Amino acid sequence: DLPALVIWGEHDAYVPSSYAVRQRELFPSADVHVLASSGHWPFVDAADTVERLLMRFLGSLLRRAGVRA
């Protein structure tokens, strides 16, 4: 059960957003986010949201590892 961050666009035309939650089959503790206003490229469609989620996720990993910013 490795740390995992899943960010998926609800309107992904190539891979349905239902696959986002399915990531927990391999990563039970995955932090899953389906972005309502995004398609296949959430990092483009919702860059600010993706940045916020990524920074929060990485910060939590650093804190768990005992790294101080």
Average pLDDT over residues 17-36: 96
What does the block give as tokens for 31? 């932090």
Beta strands in 1-69 (DSSP E): 5-9, 31-35
Side-chain-side CA neighbours of residue 58 (13 Å)? 7
Closest CA to 9 of 30, 26, 32, 31: 32
pLDDT of 28 strictly over 70: yes
Q: Nearest 5 degrees, angle CA 46-CA 48-CA 51?
A: 105
- Residue 31 is predicted with a pLDDT of 97
pLDDT of 35 strictly over 70: yes
